[in-house]
Amino acid sequence: MGKKIVIVGAGYSGILTAKKLAKKFKNNKDVSITIIDKNPFHTMLTELHEVAANRVDEDSIKISLNKVFAGRKVQVKLDTITSIDFEKKLVLGTAENYDYDYLVMSAGSKPTYFGTSGAEEFTFKLWSYEDAVLLKDHIHNTFRKAAVETDREERKKLLTFYVVGAGFTGAEMAGELAEYAPILCANFEIDRKEVTICNVDVLNRTIPNLPEKLSGKVERRMKKMGIRVMLNTSVVKVGKDFVETKSNDVITREGTYTVIWAAGIEGADITAEAGKNLQSGGRGRIALDPYLRSLDDKAVYVVGDNMLFTPEGEERPVPQIVENCEHSASTAAHNIICAISGQGQMEKYKPSFHGFMVCIGGRYGVARVGLPNMMFNLPSWLAMLSKHLINIIYFTQVLGWNKVFSYIRHEFFTIRNCRSFVGGHFSNRTPSFLLVPLRVWLGAVWLYEGIMKVTEGWMTTPKLTGFFGGAQAWYDTIVNGGGTSTTDGVSAATGTGAEEGSAQVGNAATEAGTVIFNFDFIGLFQAIFVSGKELAHSTLADLAFKLDIPVMNWFIDTLIMPNDSVQVAMQIFIVIAEILIGLALIGGLFTFPAAGFSLILQFMFVTTTGLYLGTFWMIFAGVAVLIGAGRTFGLDYYAMPALKKGWKKIPVVRKSYLYHD
């Protein structure tokens, strides 16, 4: 009889556990894997604040579960789990029930309010996709209302924002809000001085997981951004239009319509329900043995935020962070595989965390990273870069290229108001229709070059011996100090086109050339930059650059030059490529591969004959039209959507995530 694995919750740890199990049991028909979540998508909880403060689009924090498990042996169920019968091994949901042999609890967490009066009813949460979207709309609407409000007290309430909690979520939310506020103020013509942003916490410093030095940096940055940092202060009551705080036994009330609760988390409802039958503690987390099994039921594994486990040699339970989700998913999946297959040794959970990082807005961050016994701090720019690289590594595991492309696009290429640690330097602001003339002209030049080669006999007669050899002789003459070049004015064979602008030569003498630089990079390649004339009398048409690469030289000298038929075949390939590139760019069809291949050809010419600077514009033009240039006044406008639609339906493509939306 087959084995059934049921995973409750499609958070970070649940998805990774399911994927690892599916990979192992993909050819085992006796094992079924079911993952259950109340949403058809996975939510990137660590990025919620970016949506709430309108730095990235809403869809950037959602990952479709059907996409994640496309082509995999995982059944996705949309359901809300209400209880679990551990004796009958039955998971009960509002839509249906699910029997199991092995259960993985990965239901995640929810906010905890510590009994604060009115907190649950009157605060905004930041723990789901819906929370982020609701908060984003609310923030925008408060500024819109404040812009037309004439009552000073009411206006002040509208423009007062409290973020409760100075941990990771609270500090990041406060930072994003402080960065967003000036933009809203400009849009609604509100003085930034009217806006009050408070970050309040009962603790004595921000981000207690970080060293005090970094906590101090975070606090100073927040104050610099205009945030009122209220430490050693507790929130005692929240109402519809006010918040009460307590510091040094003094209670203060301030009017506000926006209190964002980020003060702590506890186990999800289903985890708390399971805790009635299993040993638990620490705000609803399930107590585990070293193999991540419940102490009371060896068929129940727990991963991610639901874990209550203290590794050997540690004083505290594992933290509720993404890295713990990744590590625990790997251990739990391995142990379930061992239990089902009866092969291999189960492994104890021994996580090795590599630090923490926090971003205060899109431009500033701090990080403490490294190995457990060798941690170091990163400066702001590197901290932000590390955060993005780590996110990309995670997304590679979850949804591969599809999500990595989406993440880069949202975080860099379409970033709003330069809210990134690289500013807006990568943001696509230039209208693509301005590239149409450049694309068409580049295509016309390539087409001309191909047609001219046909008329010159490139399709039938070997030409490469003179083409490559003459150019090399010209460079050798100048570099070796011969005083004259051996060409009939290099422009006789160059200067008008792609590789026709290469530094190949004829046979008559010209004036002395000049070596501008000649660098040998430890034998790997040689960069040569020369002029065919004295430098004082040179123009761009006289300056030539070549990369002399021994491997390329060997390839040409050994495989191409000795055989006339191989030369003709290579020539035919070049001619056809030039004509096709030209037609594709002119018509705007398959612009990306056409521009990419044009760059490859240019690289070939730079490493064989060299190029005059007068034709280097073709390299830069190829880069400029590489992405999206055919979507405006080009056939890609029609072809690419149709091709993408068909491409992502191919099973192996969906399974490998080799597409983007």
User: Per-residue pLDDT for 534 more than 70?
Assistant: yes
Does residue 657 lie in a domain region? no
Q: pLDDT of 65-105, one tens digit each?
A: 999 999 999 999 999 999 999 999 999 999 999 999 999 99
Q: What is the DSSP letter of 124?
A: B
Q: What is the pLDDT of residue 429?
A: 74
Q: pLDDT of 117-144, one tens digit each?
A: 999 999 999 999 999 999 999 999 999 9
Residue 524 and residue 615 in one domain: yes
Distance CA 561, CA 501 (A): 21
For residue 35, give the amino acid letter. Answer: I
Residue 248 and residue 305 in one domain: no
Confidence of residue 336 (pLDDT cuts 50, 70, 90): very high
Distance CA 309, CA 332 (A): 13
Residue 40 and residue 134 in one domain: no
Residue 42 and residue 156 in one domain: no
H-helix segments, 429-463: 436-455
Q: What is the pLDDT of residue 512?
A: 62
The most confident of 104-108, 517-521, 625-629, by mean pLDDT: 104-108
Does residue 69 lie in a domain region? yes
Terminal-residue alpha carbon distance, the chain: 41
Taking each helix axis from N to C terminus, what angle separates 322-341 and 12-24, rounded to the nearest 10 degrees?
Answer: 30
Cα–Cα distances in angstroms (integers) from residue 209 to residues 166, 262, 285, in the given order: 11, 15, 20
Confidence of residue 495 (pLDDT cuts 50, 70, 90): very low
User: Per-residue pLDDT for 511 more than 80?
Assistant: no
Q: For 278, how many CA atoms within 13 A lie in the half-sphere containing its CB?
A: 32
Q: What are the φ and ψ backbone dihedral angles of 618, each rounded to 5 degrees?
A: -70, -30
Give the end of a domain, one of 229, 245, 263. Answer: 263
Q: What is the pLDDT of residue 487?
A: 41
How, if at all, do strands 365-371 and 374-378 pair?
antiparallel
Express as a percent the part of the chain with pLDDT over 90: 79
Q: pLDDT of 142-152, one tens digit each?
A: 999 999 999 99
Does residue 380 lie in a domain region? no
Q: What is the pLDDT of residue 302?
A: 97
For the range 221-227, what are the long-range contacts, defined as Cβ-Cβ under 8 Å and sequence gap of 24 or more? 221/175, 221/360, 221/364, 222/171, 222/174, 222/175, 222/178, 222/360, 225/175, 225/178, 225/179, 225/360, 225/361, 226/178, 226/181, 226/192, 226/195, 226/197, 227/174, 227/175, 227/178, 227/197, 227/198, 227/199
Residue 246 and residue 304 in one domain: no
Q: What is the pLDDT of residue 493?
A: 33
Confidence of residue 499 (pLDDT cuts 50, 70, 90): very low
For the range 547-552, what are the long-range contacts, defined as Cβ-Cβ under 8 Å and sequence gap of 24 or more? 547/606, 547/607, 548/475, 548/607, 549/524, 549/525, 549/607, 550/523, 550/524, 550/525, 552/607, 552/608
> Considering only CA atoms, which of 263, 256, 244 is closest in space to residue 166?
263
Q: Which residues sit opposite 162 in a β-bridge? A: 198, 259
Residue 451 and residue 491 in one domain: yes
Residue 187 and residue 245 in one domain: yes
Does residue 390 lie in a domain region? no
Burial of 514 (0-12, 13-18, 19+ CB in 10 A): middle
Express as a percent the part of the chain with pLDDT over 70: 95
Q: Helix, strand or coil for residue 76?
A: strand
Residue 236 and residue 285 in one domain: no
Give the end of a domain, one of 294, 323, 351. Answer: 351
What is the count of structural domains for the chain? 3
Residue 217 and residue 333 in one domain: no
Q: pLDDT of 579-589, one tens digit each?
A: 999 999 999 99
Q: Which residues sit opposite 227 in a β-bridge? A: 197
Confidence of residue 492 (pLDDT cuts 50, 70, 90): very low
Domain coverage including residue 124: 119-263
Q: pLDDT of 184-213, one tens digit each?
A: 999 999 999 999 999 999 999 999 989 999
Q: What would you report as the CA-atom Rg of the chain, rounded to the nearest whole angstrom?
A: 32
Does residue 53 lie in a domain region? yes
Does residue 299 lie in a domain region? yes
Q: What is the mean pLDDT of residues 413-433?
A: 84
> Rounded to an integer, what is the distance from CA 540 to the centroid of its chain?
40
Q: Are 146 and 155 in contact (CB under 8 A)?
A: yes
Q: What is the pLDDT of residue 494?
A: 37
Structure tokens at 28: 């085992």
Cα dihedral 394, 396, 402, 408 sign: positive
Q: What is the pLDDT of residue 503?
A: 46
Confidence of residue 1 (pLDDT cuts 50, 70, 90): low
Lowest mean pLDDT among 38-52, 56-70, 191-205, 481-495: 481-495
* Degrees, nearest 5: CA angle 650-656-658: 75
Give the end of a domain, one of 227, 243, 263. Answer: 263
Distance CA 372, CA 374 (A): 6
User: Per-residue pLDDT for 575 more than 90?
Assistant: yes
Which CATH number belongs to the domain containing residue 242 in this structure?
3.50.50.100
Residue 209 and residue 157 in one domain: yes
Q: What is the mean pLDDT of residues 343-358?
A: 93
Q: pLDDT of 381-412, one tens digit each?
A: 999 999 999 999 999 999 999 999 999 989 99
* 285-287, strands of its sheet edge to edge: 280-281, 285-287, 307-308
Residue 256 and residue 276 in one domain: no
Does residue 422 lie in a domain region? no
Does residue 411 lie in a domain region? no
Distance CA 529, CA 519 (A): 9
Q: Which residue has the tokens 């079924």?
A: 32
User: Per-residue pLDDT for 427 more than 50?
Assistant: yes
* Degrees, nearest 5: CA angle 157-195-239: 30
Residue 226 and residue 103 in one domain: no
User: Per-residue pLDDT for 608 more than 60?
Assistant: yes
User: Per-residue pLDDT for 507 more than 60?
Assistant: no
